[in-house]
């Protein structure tokens, strides 16, 4: 992808802003996404147990690696900021080497803000035993509104 490439403008309400060391933008130096734009990147799903829900749940969303590739992200850390300003830092090594998604759906339904939505960073804990630890739970930010690449 050429670094002069831009993203289309959102046509619906924006739900995610990505800033920092990215090469593809659509508003100034930022990349602003609505839900259809994220879904157009390609969705994957997995079923896993988490500390936040009883039993196993199925999450569906965009692989963070795919989003970072689309934006030509450079940097070593992704900082996720939630609607309530909570932040979690995710090493780009996790993005590249672990199954971690920016989930839009849980058990087939879009997640409302009242249930960790509209975006939730989730690792596939069941298929990555090393990620099934407190360190990774803290990286699983919900109500994500912004990603900053450093």
Residue 51: count other Cβ atoms within 10 Å of its Cβ. 9
Pick one of 1.10.3720.10, 3.20.20.140, 1.10.10.60, 3.90.420.10 as the CATH number of 14-149: 3.90.420.10
Q: Where along the chain do its domains lie?
A: 14-149
pLDDT tens digits, 110-129: 999 999 999 999 999 998 88
How many Å apart are CA 99 and CA 147, to the nearest integer?
Answer: 18
Q: Are 147 and 22 in contact (CB under 8 A)?
A: no
101, 63 contact by CB (below 8 A): yes
Question: Is residue 93 very low, low, confident or very high in pLDDT (cuts 50, 70, 90)?
Answer: very high
For 18-45, what is each residue's pLDDT tens digit?
999 999 999 999 999 999 999 999 999 9
How far is residue 105's CA from residue 44's CA, in Å, rounded to a whole number? 10
**pTM of the model as a whole:** 0.92
Instruction: Report d(CA 69, CA 78) in Å as an integer.
Output: 13
Stretch 51-59: mean pLDDT, rounded?
95
* Cα-Cα-Cα-Cα dihedral sign, residues 48, 52, 53, 57: negative
pLDDT given at position 131 = 85
């Amino acid at each position: 992808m050429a670094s002069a490439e831009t993203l289309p403008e959102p046509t619906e309400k924006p739900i995610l802003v990505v800033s920092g060391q990215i090469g593809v933008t659509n508003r100034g130096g930022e990349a602003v996404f609505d839900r259809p734009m994220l879904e157009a990147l390609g969705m994957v799903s997995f079923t896993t147990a988490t500390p936040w829900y009883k039993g196993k749940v199925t999450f569906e969303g965009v692989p963070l690696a795919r989003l970072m590739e689309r934006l030509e992200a450079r940097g070593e850390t992704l900082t996720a900021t939630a609607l309530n300003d909570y932040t979690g830092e995710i090493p780009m090594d996790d993005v590249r080497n672990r199954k971690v998604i920016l989930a839009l759906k849980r058990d087939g339904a879009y997640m409302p803000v009242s249930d960790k939505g509209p975006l939730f960073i989730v690792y596939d804990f069941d298929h990555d035993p090393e990620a099934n630890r407190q360190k990774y739970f803290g990286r699983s930010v919900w109500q994500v509104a912004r990603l900053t690449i450093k």
